[in-house]
Amino acid sequence: MRSKLTVVAWIATAAVGLIVAACGGSSGDKTTSSAQSSQPAALQKGSTIRLWVMNNGPQPVQDTKRIVQGFERQTGVNVDVELVGWDVQFDRIRNAAVSGGGPDVTQAGTTQVPFFAALNGFSDLNGRIKDIGGKGAYAPGIWQTTQLAGQNGTFAIPWFTEARAIYYRKDVLEKAGIDPATAFKDWDSFQQTLQTIKDKVPTIDGKPIAPFGSPGKKAFDLVHHVMPFVWDAGGAELSSDDKKSTIDSPQAEEGVNFMAGLIQKGLYDKSMLERDGTQVENQFKGGRLAVWIGGPWVLGSVGRTDDTTWVSDARKNVGVAPMPAGPSGKGFTFVGGSNLMMLKSTKHPNEAWALMKYLSGDAVQKEYANLMGMFPARLVPQKQVGETDPDHRAFYSAIQQGRTYAPIPQWAQIENAYKNRLGAILDSAAGQGKPYNQSSLAAQLHDAAQEADSLLSQTTG
Amino acid sequence: MSTPTLTDIDVEVTVTDRPDPPPPRGSGPIARRRRRGRARRRTWRTSRFAYALIAPAVVFMVLVHLLPAIGGLILSFKNLNTFTFSQLYGAPWAGLQNYRAILFDGSNPLHSGFFGAVENTVVYTFWTVGLTLSGGLAVALLVKRPMRGQKVVRALMLTPWIVPSYVVAVLWGFMWQSDVGIVNKVLVDYTHVLSDRPVWLLGPHTMWAIIIPSVWRGLPFAMLIFLAGLQAMPKDLYDAAAIDGAGAFRRFRYITLPLMRPLIAIQLLFGVIYSAYQFAIPYVMLGSNPGPDADLMMTLIVRQSFSNNLFGFGAAASTLLMLGMLVWVAVWYRAFRRDLEATS
């Protein structure tokens, strides 16, 4: 009996070793199928393409499955749609690119593409893009998000676009006696609108409502909320040659100070700084904020009864306006969205490309944009969606005024560094942590610039 | 000749009556080697079952703990950044550069971030372990007393322990919200203990926002261990002390506390290590960047490694944390060695 148990124990030991060894995977996997052909090839019916998508709407997986049904019917290729949350997608896509063990196609944030491309785990699509009309089918700023500075390659194709605009409650503005047409024209009118709401409409239907709210350091996209004010003031995130941070310039300081000043004046509900982006979005939908800055997906969710975060008064009184113009005379906004990238490790490059091409069709882009509440990335369907109604027109105009960040591999890390410091600045303005004043603001931005410069100075050696 | 004393006789008897040891059967080196070989085979025969049983655990520990720790140590000497991290062990050698940047380079923002995180971790660990152990002991003394519904109270006291850290952090994250959270509702709206609503999740209060849920979750386990210790204590010691006129405090000070020292020691050891490596609660409650007031070592290491791709920095900071814990274990062992020997 004892000898049998001994044998079992040794077998268990060997099994543990084998399992752990197997978890390591095979380095050969990475290269077996990285080759791709630019020639049209017959698609392998019955093959399965794994597609990673992020939380793009209330039902991201079901909606995407619905969209790709047409592709499955046409080609006989199956699509396995998997949800990867925004909170973990950066790590998972990076790991998939490095290990070679991931999906065939993945969605990626536009600002992340240069970093992922630099990992050398994604296919260069230059030989295929003529199938979707080439770069002429997209706005230059959007096409730029598929590139990697210093390299001649196309590492992604634009999938959908978003930009930030001002959401407001029509009933609150009406009660405050403010004309929506001029309420958010420039920084002064924006601030005056918030002040009037604070003075005249502290409650609506007996419930308290704050004039304005925006998330703090918990939001993954905090930088997208602050940078438009920096751009409005004539500032920039990096120097024109992308070699040095300019986040500590006087112009950038002015932009950040404007946003922090809203907190100090009591116009910006500081409790929103404790929340992440989705939680603040839900505060607007739940009727606790009169004005908020958000993306087009919220507009798309107004008509969706399966989005139960809306209270009825908020749902029926949504208005959208472009971002206010700053001292530079321009009202910039962040324009981003998501691209599609093909992993080099895919065993089905032709089928993967066929799926990407299908998702780039004008009709499919429009249908998906409607479902997700985003804008199509391609010029023609984008314009068509922009002409739907005044609210969509505001977003379409925002996209035209939109800016994005430099296509350099270090941007995601620099954005993180900025996010940390901007979060601390807004906390200070809310009376938490270090006292807020001009010199503490300058010091924080200087630290942010220094950190960004050290990230920019990273080398391969 | 003088008369021998009893002691002398004893000595003599002891010496003269001791039987001679049996002559060894072969005393050369070959015979000794044979004997050792036979002994070794006998030991192997009797112990191989035990070795076989612990072998999977040993293999697992080596693969899951030892090798990654060595790997991490090697990475701490590498220049791993956005451009090189995919090469991992093939990345360029950086020598002590990562350690120099962390410890001595005042112009490097990572330097101040590191020392801020060290300070926060020390504060967090001190309060979390202190409150968990003292609270656990106090609750154990309370629930040890005979009372109605004692078993129900004990079971209820254990419930925070079975709640996963992730859930604890999410729940407390909602409870701390300054405008609608239950904490401020109780302190401000219901009891009027405070007139202004404190902001718990920003600024210096953030540290307490992570300490209190950590204590809330850890206290039941400490209580359970202390309760087991208290129940095993001999009652006659307390009876004797009471007869001698010792009050409750003196009985606690001179009987309970000394007898509980081994249990306190073990909990202190694990409590400090667990708290120094705390990640889940601050990360889930406050995100990847908890801010300068609550950025702990682990949140800093994870953020710099996985968000900023500074794996060399992260590995060096991890190594320093591990060294810090080794020092703590050495100090702890020196302080409590006698208690461990007394219980063994």
Can you tell me the distance from the alpha carbon of A68 to that of B172, in angstroms, rounded to the nearest whole number?
40
Chain A nearest-CA distance from B64, in A, is: 9
- CA-nearest of A247, A127, A262, A275 to A193 is A262
Task: Give chain A's length.
Answer: 461
The DSSP string of B238-294 is: HHHHHHTT--HHHHIIIIIHHHHHHHHHHHHHHHHHHHHT--HHHHHHH-S---TTT
Can you tell me the distance from the alpha carbon of B95 to that of B312, in angstroms, rounded to the nearest whole number?
11
Q: Count CB neighbours of A96 within 10 A.
A: 22
Number of H helices, E strands in chain B: 15, 0
ipTM at complex level: 0.75
B residues 39..98 contacting A (CB < 8 A): 48-49, 52-53, 55-56, 59-60, 63-64, 79, 81-86, 92
Check: CB of residue A306 under 8 Å from CB of residue A58: yes
Q: Where residue A25 falls among pLDDT bands split at 50, 70, 90?
A: very low
Return the C-alpha torsion angle A171, A174, A179, A180, nearest 10.
0
What's residue B344's pLDDT?
A: 52
Q: Is the dihedral of CA A49, A50, A56, A62 positive or negative?
A: positive
Q: Cβ contacts (< 8 Å) between B307 and chain A: which residues?
A: 90, 412-413, 416
Can you tell me the distance from the alpha carbon of B145 to that of B164, in angstroms, rounded to the nearest whole number?
29
Chain B nearest-CA distance from A260, in A, is: 15
Count contacts between A and B (CB, < 8 Å): 121
Can you tell me the distance from the alpha carbon of A409 to that of B244, in angstroms, rounded to the nearest whole number?
77
Can you tell me the distance from the alpha carbon of A332 to that of A318, in angstroms, rounded to the nearest whole number?
22
Buried-state track B180-197, b at ≥16 Cβ within 10 A, e below 16: ebebbeebbeeeeeeeeb
- CA-nearest of A253, A279, A236, A270 to A422 is A253
Are residues B107 and A6, on separate chains, in Cβ contact within 8 Å? no
Are residues A423 and B289, on separate chains, in Cβ contact within 8 Å? yes
Contacts of range A91-100, beta carbons closer than 8 Å, 24 or more positions apart = A91/B306, A92/A52, A93/A52, A93/A341, A94/A119, A96/A121, A96/A343, A96/A345, A97/A121, A97/A122, A97/A343, A97/B86, A98/B85, A98/B86, A99/A25, A99/A30, A100/A25, A100/A29, A100/A30, A100/A31, A100/A343, A100/A344, A100/A345
Are residues A276 and B287, on separate chains, in Cβ contact within 8 Å? yes
What's residue A27's pLDDT?
A: 38
Higher pLDDT, residue B222 or B204: B222
Burial class (CB in 10 A: 0-12, 13-18, 19+), A440: middle
Chain A nearest-CA distance from B135, in A, is: 29
For range A303-331, the mean pLDDT: 92
Q: Cβ contacts (< 8 Å) between B308 and chain A: which residues?
A: 413, 416-417, 455
Can you tell me the distance from the alpha carbon of A212 to that of A209, in angstroms, rounded to the nearest whole number?
9
Give the residue from chain B lying closest to A451, CA to CA.
B109
What's residue A305's pLDDT?
A: 84
What's residue A320's pLDDT?
A: 94
Residue type, B339: D
Structure tokens at A231: 């751009």
- CA-nearest of B137, B127, B129, B136 to B161 is B136
Q: Cβ contacts (< 8 Å) between A412 and chain B: which residues?
A: 307
For range A343-370, the mean pLDDT: 94
Give the residue from chain A lying closest to B283, CA to CA.
A218
- CA-nearest of B84, B85, B114, B88 to B99 is B114
Q: Cβ contacts (< 8 Å) between B79 and chain A: which residues?
A: 461
Chain B nearest-CA distance from A68, in A, is: 32
Are residues B179 and A461, on separate chains, in Cβ contact within 8 Å? no
Q: Cβ contacts (< 8 Å) between A286 and chain B: which residues?
A: none
Q: Could you read off the pLDDT of A290-305 as tens digits, one per residue?
A: 999 999 989 888 888 8
Instruction: Decide if pLDDT at A23 tops 70.
Output: no
Instruction: Decide if pLDDT at B132 tops 70.
Output: yes
Can you tell me the distance from the alpha carbon of A380 to that of A383, in angstroms, rounded to the nearest whole number?
5
Buried-state track B227-260, b at ≥16 Cβ within 10 A, e below 16: bebbeeeeeeebeeeeeeebeeeebeeebbeeeb
Give the residue from chain A lying closest to B45, CA to CA.
A3
Decide the pairing of beta strands A210-213 and A289-294.
parallel
Are residues A451 and B109, on separate chains, in Cβ contact within 8 Å? yes
Task: Select the residue of A115, A427, A451 nearest B202 (Cβ to Cβ).
Answer: A427
DSSP-derived secondary structure letter, B19? P
The whole-chain average pLDDT of chain B stands at 87
Q: Which of A271, A418, A444 to mutate to test the interface with B (most CBs of B within 10 A)?
A: A271
Q: Where residue A8 falls among pLDDT bands split at 50, 70, 90?
A: low
Q: Cβ contacts (< 8 Å) between B178 and chain A: which residues?
A: 270-271, 274
Instruction: Decide if pLDDT at B173 tops 60.
Output: yes
What do you get for the CA distance between the two ends of chain A, in Å? 60
What's residue B10's pLDDT?
A: 44
Q: Could you read off the pLDDT of B274-311 as tens digits, one per residue?
A: 999 999 999 999 988 888 899 999 999 998 888 888 88
Are residues A458 and B81, on separate chains, in Cβ contact within 8 Å? yes
Angle at CA of residue A372, ends A368 and A374, nearest 5°: 85
Q: Which of B170, B199, B202 to mutate to test the interface with A (most CBs of A within 10 A)?
A: B202
- CA-nearest of A336, A429, A417 to A375 is A336
For range A262-286, the mean pLDDT: 94
Question: If residue B161 lies in a helix (H) or strand (E), which one and from where to where?
Answer: helix B150-162
